[in-house]
Chains A and B, each alone.
Chain A
C-alpha cells in the first residue's frame, strides 16, 4: 500500500513530466548520432544502397589532400571569425552594459532584431551591397575613389565577413551578461589601490568576464565550421568550409557514408572544444542563451 502511494506520489508525476523529453532526446538526438557513426563504417553498392561491410575506407578518404586543405581553410576562417567577434564585440558589449546603462534594454534588443529577418536573405543583402554593381561600388565610383568596379566578393575575406555578421550576436550576448554581472566596487577598489586603467582591465575586468569570452567563442567557432550557405553565397563556391563538403555528400554527391565520416570530424572538434571549455571552468548552462 505504501509503495503504491509512493508510485502515485513521486514516480508517476516524474514519469509524466520527464518521460516525453527523455523519449524525444533518445529517439531524435542519441539514436541519429549513433546511426551516423555506424554509417561511417558502411559502403555503397552499385545502386547507391547502403551496405554494412565494416570498412574503414570512408575514414581513409578523409585524408585526401583536397579535403585536408579545406579543413585547414575552414579552421582558419573559424579562428579569424572568433577573434574578430571577440575584438569587436567586447568593447561593444561593455559599452551597452555599463556605459549607456539608461538605454541598455533597447540597445540589447537592437542586437536581437536582425535575427527576425532570415539570415539567408541578410547574407544575400551583403552580396547585393558588395557586388560588382552593388551599392559600395556605385558609391566609390561616384566619389571617384575607384574608376572601375572592384570585386569585393568571392574571397576568404567576404566569407569571414559573412560569418562574423551571422555569429557576432552569439558573442555579444554572453559578453553582455558577463559584463553586466561585474561588481562595480571591484573596479573602484582596483583604481583606489593605484592601478591604472589598463592594469585594472587586464587584472580585474578581463578575468571576471572571461567566462563570457569562453562561452561566446564556443558559440561562434563551432557553427562557423558548418555554415555552408555563407560560403556558398559570399564565397561563390570557390572557398569552402567543412559544412560544404558534408552538404555535397548528402545532396549531389550522394555518398552518405563519406558525408557521415566528414560529420564525425565536426563531432570530434565539438567534443574537444567543449571538453576544453569545461576544463577552463565554463558552465554548460551559459551556452544556452
Chain B
C-alpha cells in the first residue's frame, strides 16, 4: 500500500478515536441538557414528552433549589479567596525562607491531595463534632479551604521555579518596603500561577460532593440537593440549572482565558 494512504488512514483513525473519547466525556452532559427541555411532569421524569422551555421558568420559582445554588456560589467564592490568599503567602514564604519544619508542612500538604476524600470528610466531621463546632456554612468553608490550599500552592510553585529574586531586591534598593514590593512586584509576576490555582480551587469547590456531605449540617449545597433528589428522580429544573451553570462557567472561563490571562503571559 502507498505510504501516504497509510498515513492518512492512521490520521483518520486517530480523529475517530479522539472523537469517541469526547462522546464518552460529553454524553451525560448532552443527556442533562436535553432533559432540561423535557415536557414531562411525572416522576421520575425519564420519558420524553415533548419540548418545552417551561422548566427554565419553574426554576426561578423553586426557591429551595436556588438557595442551594446560592450556598454553592458563596462557599466557592469565600473558600477560593481564603485558600488563594493563604496559599499564595505560603508558596512565596516557603520558596524564600528556610526554616525548621518545612518538610512537615510539605508532607501535610500532600495529604489532602492523595487521601480519599471520604477520609478527609469523616475526619473533619469527627473533629468538628468533638470541638462542638456547629456544622453549617462555616464548617463547609473550613473544609473546602483545607482541600484547596495544596492545589493553589502547587500551581504557584510551578510558576516560582523560574522566579528571579533580584527583581525584589531591586525594588527594595529603590526604596520600596517589603509590603509594597510584595503587592507591586511579587504578585503581578506570579499572577498566572495564582489565577490558575484560584480557578482550580473554585472548580473543586463547586464540584465537591463527598467532603461537603459530611461537613454541611443543615446547609444544602447544589450537589447535595441533587443527591437528595436522586432517589425520587431528578426533576428537569435541576437539569435546567445545571445547563445554565455550564453555559455560565464556560463563558466566564473563555473571557478570563482571553482577557486577564493573556495580559500577563508575555
Given A17-B92, A285-B157, the answer on whether A121 and B146 have CB atoms closer than 8 Å is: no
Instruction: Tell me if A250 and B18 are in contact (CB < 8 A).
Output: no
Given A25-B105, A125-B31, A129-B31, the answer on whether A95 and B114 have CB atoms closer than 8 Å is: no
Interface bin, chain B = 35 or more
Instruction: Tell me if B46 and A134 are in contact (CB < 8 A).
Output: yes
Shortest B48–chain A CB gap in Å is 9
Shortest A191–chain B CB gap in Å is 14
Q: Which parts of A206-265 form the interface with B (CB within 8 Å)?
A: 218, 222-223, 225-229, 233, 243, 246-247, 250, 256, 259-260, 263
Given A35-B123, A116-B250, A223-B117, the answer on whether A20 and B89 have CB atoms closer than 8 Å is: yes
**Is A100 part of the binding interface, using a Cβ–Cβ cutoff of 8 Å?**
yes
Select B123's contact among A111, A222, A223, A263, beta carbons within 8 Å.
Answer: A263
Q: With a CB–CB cut-off of 8 A, which chain B residues contact A267?
A: 115, 119
Instruction: Tell me if A289 and B155 are in contact (CB < 8 A).
Output: yes
Q: With a CB–CB cut-off of 8 A, which chain A residues contact B145?
A: 24
Q: With a CB–CB cut-off of 8 A, which chain B residues contact A31?
A: 127
- Distance of A270 Cα from B117 Cα, bound (Å): 12
**Is B64 part of the binding interface, using a Cβ–Cβ cutoff of 8 Å?**
no
Secondary structure dominating the interface of B = helix
Instruction: Tell me if B118 and A21 are in contact (CB < 8 A).
Output: no
Q: With a CB–CB cut-off of 8 A, which chain B residues contact A259?
A: 122
Given A18-B90, A21-B86, the answer on whether A120 and B230 have CB atoms closer than 8 Å is: yes
Of A8-16, A63-71, A179-187, which stretch is located at the interface?
A: A8-16
Secondary structure dominating the interface of A = helix
Select A270's contact among B99, B114, B151, beta carbons within 8 Å.
Answer: B114
Select B146's contact among A28, A134, A229, beta carbons within 8 Å.
Answer: A28
Interface bin, chain A = 35 or more
- Distance of A135 Cα from B32 Cα, bound (Å): 12
- Distance of A226 Cα from B116 Cα, bound (Å): 6
- Distance of A124 Cα from B28 Cα, bound (Å): 8
Shortest A67–chain B CB gap in Å is 16
Of the A-B pairs whose beta carbons lie under 8 Å apart in the complex, a sample of 24, sorted by A's number, is A10-B97, A17-B89, A17-B90, A18-B105, A22-B105, A25-B146, A26-B108, A28-B127, A28-B146, A29-B146, A88-B21, A95-B14, A95-B18, A100-B15, A116-B206, A118-B226, A122-B29, A123-B28, A125-B32, A222-B116, A229-B227, A263-B119, A288-B154, A289-B155
Query: Taking beta carbons and an 8 Å cutoff, which residues of A are in contact with B?
Result: 10, 13-14, 16-18, 20-22, 24-26, 28-33, 35-36, 39, 88, 91-92, 95-96, 99-100, 107, 110-126, 128-129, 131, 133-135, 165, 168-169, 218, 222-223, 225-229, 233, 243, 246-247, 250, 256, 259-260, 263, 266-267, 270, 274, 284-285, 287-289
